[in-house]
Structure 1
Amino acid sequence: MSGKLYGVGVGPGDPELITIKAHRILQSCPVVAYPAPDSGQSFARSIVAEYLSAEQIELPIIVPMRVERFPAAQVYDEASENIAAHLDAGRDVVVLCEGDPFFYGSFMYVYERLAERYDCEVVPGVSSIMTGAAMSGIPLAARNDVLTILPGPLPDDELRARINAADALVIMKVGRHLARIRTLMGEMNLLDKAVYLERVSLAEQRTMRLADMTDETAPYFSMITIYKGAEPWIDTANMNVTKYD
């Protein structure tokens, strides 16, 4: 009898921000797979390291972390077949995913390859977007506000059009696009409404007004939130500001 495949969201970084269900599955599965860079440790694994046991089999999914394109299909093809071998042997496998598995999550590529062949369950996780709002003290949206989520690599013209049409926004994948996005926000007179958030829920978290962020680039785990709606009490002047120690 085949094992069961689980895709589990482990949240934005704080080990306490995983669900009780995720914790139960994580500790009961004999095989744990997770994305890992080709140099350095896996962030997903580091979040739940204290919950792992020495008896569990670990399967790192090595994903190159660099700007240039890499053969992503090959990476997930090989990882999925490695996972399938354990499932065929009757072992349950849990695949860890930062944040939520189906929100820009790497697990969706494993799911695409294996969900039709095996029993599969997806366990949602706490998104960095919701965590960022909690950490900054600035609500995302209220009443009938329309919340729009945008990837930072979009070109300026498309970002501008989508921002103009929205009441509240989150810009993900800021990274090397930080300076360009900050300039665009200045041109649109939105700097006083924009919040920069970095590594939310971690010890090195930073939250501040985008206007006060002077760096030219940002780490991978960063985002910008903008509120343009009708609620006057959502004000960046009242936000929680944190910086590196």
Structure 2
Amino acid sequence: MKMGTVYGVGLGPGDPDLMSVKADRLLRNAKHVAFFRKAGKTGRARTIVNGMLPATAVEFAMEYPVTTEIPVSDPRYNALLSSFYEECTAHLKSLSENGEDVVVLCEGDPFFYGSFMHLYERLRTHAPVEVVPAITGMSGAWTATGDPITWGDDVLTVLMATLPEDELAQRMADTDALVVMKIGRNMDKVKRALRSAGLYDRAWLVQFAQMPNQSVTKLADAPEGTTPYFSIVLVHGQGRRP
């Protein structure tokens, strides 16, 4: 029996109109659909494709065993996630072995800090896997500001807010244009690092980019407190122009 293909389908930053034609075609013809979500939640990826899936599609919700309940530095964190990814991989591999194609929903681009990458690495030598690229969340965010992120020879740096503060500040100071992701509870640390790098007054905060509840604000004007998961801090480059 010919093995089925596991498709890691990038959904883009949140607006269904920004999906690729290929992603749309795969979704509307899917027999099996898998997606990540937090326990008890619908899941952002599944919400994006509402109304696009066939009524007969068999859905497989992959619920994270842990998100922010324990710190990443705790050995249990990686152990729990590793076991989770192994279980999800086994299910997808079984479907493939039975000749079934599976569409795995991926927010943003599947190969850019996405959970699908962990399945891909486990599946790629055991089943046919195809990745459908998409517009990244950060692209959707800088477009929402209405200004280009880079000019001329600008160097763009993408940082995770989970990095130590001194490393954040150093890397911020060494770049021309900046994207900071995984903000959440790290906002105060990000603000301090931006101030140290002399970039605070140029920074923007974009929440829920390209989604119905999108918000674009100068970081200095943003309210205090924890920001949503779908938040990105940007500093636009000011490089060479004709």
Structure 1-normalised TM-score?
0.90
**In the alignment, which residue of structure 2 is the partner of 1:184?**
193
Q: For residues 177-220 of structure 1, give each alpha carbon's deviation from its aligned partner in whole angstroms, at most 9, with x where no partner exists.
A: 11221133234332221011101111211111111012221111
**In the alignment, which residue of structure 1 is the partner of 2:181?**
172
In structure 2, the CA distance between the partners of 1:192 and 1:231, relative to structure 1 (3 Å rule), is farther
The CA RMSD measured in Å over matched residues stands at 1.6
Q: Given residue 201 of structure 1, which amino acid in structure 2 is its aligned partner? A: Q
Separation (CA, whole Å) in 2 of partners of 1:101 and 1:211? 32
TM-superposed CA distance for 1:229, in Å, is 3.1
Structure 1 residue 221 corresponds to structure 2 residue 221: no
Separation (CA, whole Å) in 2 of partners of 1:55 and 1:124? 25
**In the alignment, which residue of structure 1 is the partner of 2:12?**
11
TM-superposed CA distance for 1:231, in Å, is 5.3
| SS of residue matched to 2:180 | strand
| SS of residue matched to 1:211 | helix
**In the alignment, which residue of structure 1 is the partner of 2:108?**
99
Q: Given residue 66 of structure 1, which amino acid in structure 2 is its aligned partner? A: T
**In the alignment, which residue of structure 1 is the partner of 2:157?**
148
Q: For residues 45-76 of structure 1, give each alpha carbon's deviation from its aligned partner in whole angstroms, at most 9, with x where no partner exists.
A: 11012101221111111113324154001111
Q: Given residue 185 of structure 1, which amino acid in structure 2 is its aligned partner? A: L
Separation (CA, whole Å) in 1 of partners of 2:211 and 2:220? 22
**In the alignment, which residue of structure 2 is the partner of 1:75?**
84
Q: Tell me how many residue pairs correspond in the alignment.
A: 233
Q: For residues 98-157 of structure 1, give each alpha carbon's deviation from its aligned partner in whole angstroms, at most 9, with x where no partner exists.
A: 001000011111111111111111000111111111111121111111000000011111
- Which deviates the most, 62-71 or 193-202? 62-71
| SS of residue matched to 1:49 | coil
Separation (CA, whole Å) in 2 of partners of 1:144 and 1:183? 27
Q: For residues 81-105 of structure 1, give each alpha carbon's deviation from its aligned partner in whole angstroms, at most 9, with x where no partner exists.
A: 1111111111101111100100001
8 Å contact 1:38–1:65 — kept in the other structure?
A: no
Give % identity: 37
**In the alignment, which residue of structure 2 is the partner of 1:65?**
67
TM-superposed CA distance for 1:25, in Å, is 1.2
| SS of residue matched to 1:16 | helix
TM-superposed CA distance for 1:27, in Å, is 1.9
**In the alignment, which residue of structure 1 is the partner of 2:138?**
129
Q: Given residue 96 of structure 1, which amino acid in structure 2 is its aligned partner? A: L
Q: Given residue 90 of structure 2, which amino acid in structure 1 is its aligned partner? A: E
**In the alignment, which residue of structure 2 is the partner of 1:243?**
none
TM-superposed CA distance for 1:228, in Å, is 4.6
Ranges in structure 2 where 5+ consecutive residues have no aligned partner: none
Separation (CA, whole Å) in 1 of partners of 2:169 and 2:215? 26
Ranges in structure 1 where 5+ consecutive residues have no aligned partner: 233-245
Structure 2-normalised TM-score?
0.92
Structure 1 residue 90 corresponds to structure 2 residue 99: yes
Separation (CA, whole Å) in 2 of partners of 1:172 and 1:231? 26
TM-superposed CA distance for 1:165, in Å, is 1.0
Q: For residues 8-51 of structure 1, give each alpha carbon's deviation from its aligned partner in whole angstroms, at most 9, with x where no partner exists.
A: 11111111111110011122231100001112111101101210
Structure 1 runs of 4+ aligned residues shifted over 6 Å read none
Separation (CA, whole Å) in 1 of partners of 2:117 and 2:194? 32
Separation (CA, whole Å) in 2 of partners of 1:111 and 1:148? 25
Q: Given residue 20 of structure 1, which amino acid in structure 2 is its aligned partner? A: V
**In the alignment, which residue of structure 2 is the partner of 1:31?**
32
Separation (CA, whole Å) in 2 of partners of 1:192 and 1:200? 21
Q: Given residue 30 of structure 2, which amino acid in structure 1 is its aligned partner? A: C
